[in-house]
Structure formats: structure tokens, C-alpha cells
């Protein structure tokens, strides 16, 4: 492993000089991509081929480079809200456009391989930042029926290229853990099964060897944060079908990493993993990797919450008990998919000692009660200054009633907004309910939770917190 790591480490270390700087967050669009692809279109190193249009007429292009015998096919974002690998592909294009550094690595790759990229398979879904295409069909369940134009383009491209290796690039839930641990599954891999018995053949074994090597090399940067995706056979998915058609397929799933909401670190890991994979295919290094290395990778498990509050004291029916609370946050798209707000849900109450949170708080000795609704009504949201909100939070209120909710889909303030129709709505601490409560000790309120956001009242309140609106 040693000398391959020395080579590929340079890819990681030099990442910043290749990063596509015009993209800084996950919710870029097809139009942003076309601008980036313009510089490739005019460069002789790359071949640019229009291969079809999405339902709404957005163009899909197959971009190729290299002059090697071994053909490689890489596609990204067939799920419109899974954009991490697309960002990494832009960085990889820059890597090959550059002529000033790591030329040995580039030459090894481009002399032995021909690379075909189909970035952003689902541009209409991307526009709305949704998984499915505009028919609301999951393209990755359309590999047999081929009812979506995007899915047909993917299949036709594959058949035309006849790749020896295929890279299927996705994002997975940030709440997956790497095995039964507190570590997020930041990257997970899979050598997809080609039958329901999950049999092995030389095609699948090649994928497993490459993944085994990637597991080792990536572990240096994200130790214990790498997992294996479920290998259940899904005949309607492209990875499984391509594997069965004889192309060694490697699934890369981008998960979560603490303090990386926009997945810019995971983007770098994708850049590194994909280029490392290409390099070890090009120099045939993977042939010496043992299959047992793949088997060592733990599976994705569902052991994570966004936040876990531990050892809270509840008082119900004159009795006391202690329990933990796990909170799940869901990103909800703003209308045009260009931004999002958060919606919370209580995912579990009780003994969560075998679960973990990105954020954890030990609240032993603190009492929890549901947040209250303030009795005075406000005319509209503009009447609520920051000072007023902070005052209300300190008194145990988590909701205010506002006469004109103005059709807002979320509250920009760290407090929930109720319309007059909902003024008697009661918060209840119950699984699947929103997380809105007040945490105190000896009668003094120290913390409050608004829509799942944990707020320490002795500190300045984060401006990114959003409450909910109940119309």
C-alpha cells in the first residue's frame, strides 16, 4: 500500500489548485454547469458530444478524454439533489486541463485509459433539487423500463462506450454511520450485486479490489468514516445492470461529515477517490489487492441523529423519569430549489445509548417541558424584533401567534409562528412531533430547542436558525 499512497497523497494535497472556484455550494444548476463546460468545449484535450435532452430540453453531454485502451464511464447526479460528485467532476476536468503539476499521474491515466463523463444526468431534478426527474420517476429504478429520456441516454451511452469500468456517483443520507459507531459514513462504496444471490465473478471482483484499495487510501483522511452500501440486488438500478452486463461497477456515495453542510470537504474526497481509482486502474495496481480488504469495510448503519440530548428529566403525572431525545432535521427546499430551511422531528425518546448525534449534550439534572405559546398576538412578523424573541425564549415560549403569516413557508426567527387558526396548538414531546421544548434547572431556563435547533440562552443566538410556520 505504501508507495501507492505516496503517489496519490499528492492528489489530495494539491486539490486547491484544481478546485472549480465558481461552485461553492450544492445547489448549483444546469446553467452553472454549462458555463463551466464552455472551457472544456474549446480545449483540444477533450471531446464534447451532445447525447440528448432531458424532458424539459436541458442538454446532456458526454465528455471524453484520454487515449488509452481501457474505457471508463463515469456519470453523476441521476438523483437531482445529489450533487457532490458533480462538483468533484468539475475539479477533475480542471485537473486534466492543467499542465503545470502532477503530470506523471495525468499521463499514466490518459495513456492507459479513455474516460467518458456524463455529469448531471438529471438536470430537471437538479433545478428543483429533487431526487426524481420531472416525471417524478426515480431514474435509478428505470434501468429496465427506460421510460425517462435521461435514463435512456444513460443506457445508450453505456452501450455505445462499452466501458470496462463504470463509476456510479451518488449522495446518501448524512444520518448513516460507518458500522455501529458514532462515526458518520462520510463515503460509502459498493461493488453492486449482479444477481439476487450476490454471487462473485471476475467483473464484480475487480470492483471489490478497487474499492478495497480506496478504503485503505482514504482511511488516512477519514479514519473509520468509510462504509459499505447495502448490496441487496436491485435489477431496476443502473449499477446492478451494468455490473451484470460485464462492466466492473463502483458505487460511490457521499454521506455526511461534521460541519460540512455544503459538502465541500466530501467533494474533495470524491475528487481524491475518483482520481486514485483511475490511477490504480491505469497502472493495474488493483490486481494485487486482496478481496478480503473489501470484506473488512463495515456496512452503513442507521445509528445517527442530528442531535442527541441525553439524561433529561421528565415530569409526568407527578412522576419523574430520565430519558434521551434524538432529533432528526430534514432539509426542505425553498420554492425554486435554490435554498432550504429545516424541519425537525423527534426521532426517538428513551435510552439512546446505542445511538449518536452529530451534536450531543449531556443534560443530567435538567428538566424538560414543552414550549409554550405567548398569549399576546402580533400583527405580522415585522413586529418581532430580535430582543423581543430572545425575551420570549428566556420565559419559556417557543411559539408566537401572528395575525398575518403572509404565506411564509418558514420562520426566519428562532421562534415558531402560529396563525390565529392555530393559536391553541399545543407542543407535545412525542416521537415524530417537531422538537420544541424548554430545558431548565432549579427553575432557571438555560436552554431551549426551537424546531430542533439547540439554543444556549447564555450565548448569542445563531442567525441560521429557522422556526416553523403553522398556517
**What does the binding site for Zn ion look like in residue numbers (CB under 5 A)?**
79, 82, 170
Shortest distance (Å) from residue 138 CB to Zn ion? 9
Q: What are phi and psi of 452, to 5 degrees?
A: 85, -15
Residue number closest to Zn ion, CB atom:
170
Three-state secondary structure readout of 243-298: HHCCCEEEEEEECCCCCCCCCHHHHHHHHHHHHHHHHHHHCCHHHHCCHHHHHHCC
Closest CB 73 distance from Zn ion, rounded Å:
17
Could you tell me the smallest distance in angstroms from the CB atom of residue 79 to Zn ion?
4
Question: What is the C-alpha to C-alpha distance for residues 354 and 349, in angstroms, rounded to an integer?
Answer: 13
Rg (CA), the chain: 25
Given the complex with Zn ion, which of 71 and 170 has the nearer CB atom?
Answer: 170
DSSP letter at 407 equals: T
Residues 452, 262: Cα–Cα separation, whole Å: 19
* Residue 79 or 106 with smaller CB distance to Zn ion: 79
**For Zn ion, the closer CB: 88 or 217:** 88
Closest CB 224 distance from Zn ion, rounded Å = 24
Give the per-residue SS3 of 28-65.
CCHHHHHHHHHHHHCCCCCEEEEEEECCCCCEEEEEEE
Closest to Zn ion by CB, 92 or 252: 252
Q: Minimal distance in Å, beta carbon 35 to Zn ion?
A: 25
- How far, in Å, CA of 434 to CA of 345, rounded? 4
Q: What angle in degrees, to the nearest 10, is found between the helix axes of 103-112 and 84-97?
A: 100
Taking the complex as a whole, how short is the minimal distance between the CB of residue 170 and Zn ion, in angstroms? 3
Of 131 and 209, nearer to Zn ion (C-beta) is 131
What are the phi and psi torsion angles at 239 (to 5°)? -60, -45
Q: Alpha carbon 437 to chain centroid distance?
A: 28
Choice between 193 and 393, CB closer to Zn ion: 193
Judged by beta carbon, residue 79 or residue 206, the one nearer Zn ion is 79
CB of 352 to Zn ion, least distance (A): 28
Q: Which residues pair with 416 in a beta bridge?
A: 399
Amino acid at each position: 500500500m505504501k508507495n501507492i499512497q505516496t503517489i496519490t497523497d499528492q492528489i489530495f494535497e494539491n486539490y486547491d489548485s484544481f478546485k472549480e472556484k465558481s461552485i461553492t455550494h450544492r445547489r448549483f444548476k444546469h446553467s452553472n454547469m454549462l458555463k463551466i463546460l464552455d472551457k472544456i468545449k474549446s480545449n483540444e484535450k477533450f471531446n464534447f458530444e451532445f447525447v440528448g435532452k432531458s424532458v424539459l430540453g436541458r442538454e446532456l453531454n458526454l465528455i471524453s478524454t484520454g487515449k488509452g485502451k481501457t474505457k471508463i464511464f463515469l456519470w453523476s447526479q441521476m438523483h437531482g439533489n445529489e450533487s457532490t460528485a458533480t462538483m468533484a467532476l468539475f475539479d477533475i476536468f480542471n485537473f486534466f486541463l492543467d499542465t503545470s503539476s502532477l503530470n506523471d499521474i495525468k499521463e499514466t491515466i490518459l495513456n492507459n485509459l479513455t474516460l467518458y463523463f456524463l455529469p448531471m444526468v438529471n438536470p430537471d431534478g437538479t433545478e428543483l433539487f429533487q431526487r426524481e426527474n420531472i416525471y417524478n420517476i426515480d431514474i435509478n429504478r428505470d434501468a429496465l423500463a427506460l421510460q425517462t429520456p435521461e435514463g435512456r441516454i444513460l443506457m445508450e451511452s453505456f452501450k455505445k462506450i462499452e466501458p470496462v469500468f463504470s463509476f456510479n456517483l451518488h449522495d446518501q443520507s448524512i444520518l448513516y454511520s460507518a458500522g455501529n459507531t458514532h462515526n458518520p459514513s462520510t463515503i460509502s462504496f459498493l461493488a453492486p450485486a449482479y444477481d439476487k444471490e450476490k454471487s462473485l465473478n471476475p467483473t464484480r471482483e475487480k470492483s471489490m479490489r478497487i474499492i478495497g484499495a480506496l478504503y485503505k487510501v482514504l482511511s488516512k483522511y477519514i479514519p473509520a468514516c468509510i462504509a459499505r452500501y447495502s448490496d441487496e440486488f436491485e435489477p431496476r438500478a443502473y449499477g446492478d445492470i451494468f455490473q451484470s452486463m460485464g462492466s466492473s461497477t463502483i458505487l460511490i456515495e457521499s454521506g455526511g461529515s461534521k460541519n460540512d453542510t455544503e459538502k465541500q470537504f466530501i467533494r474533495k474526497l470524491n475528487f481524491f477517490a475518483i482520481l486514485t481509482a483511475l490511477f490504480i486502474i491505469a497502472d493495474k495496481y488493483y490486481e494485487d489487492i486482496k478481496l478480503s480488504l473489501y470484506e473488512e469495510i463495515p456496512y452503513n448503519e442507521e445509528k445517527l441523529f442530528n442531535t442527541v440530548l441525553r439524561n433529561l428529566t421528565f415530569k409526568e403525572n407527578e412522576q419523574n423519569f430520565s430519558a434521551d431525545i434524538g432529533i432528526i432535521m430534514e432539509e426542505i427546499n425553498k420554492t425554486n430549489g435554490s435554498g432550504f430551511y429545516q424541519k425537525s422531528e423527534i426521532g426517538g425518546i428513551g435510552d439512546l445509548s446505542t445511538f449518536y448525534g452529530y451534536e450531543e449534550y449531556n443534560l443530567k439534572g435538567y428538566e424538560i417541558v414543552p414550549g409554550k405559546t405567548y398569549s399576546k398576538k402580533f400583527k405580522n412578523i415585522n413586529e418581532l424584533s430580535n430582543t423581543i424573541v430572545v425575551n420570549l425564549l428566556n420565559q419559556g415560549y417557543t411559539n408566537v401567534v401572528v395575525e398575518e403569516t403572509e404565506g411564509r413557508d418558514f420562520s426566519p426567527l428562532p421562534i415558531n409562528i402560529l396563525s390565529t387558526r392555530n393559536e391553541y396548538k399545543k407542543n407535545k414531546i412525542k416521537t415524530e412531533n417537531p422538537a420544541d421544548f424548554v430545558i431548565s434547572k432549579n427553575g432557571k431556563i438555560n436552554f431551549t430547542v426551537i424546531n430542533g435547533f439547540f439554543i444556549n440562552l447564555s450565548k448569542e443566538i445563531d442567525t441560521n436558525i429557522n422556526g416553523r410556520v403553522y398556517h
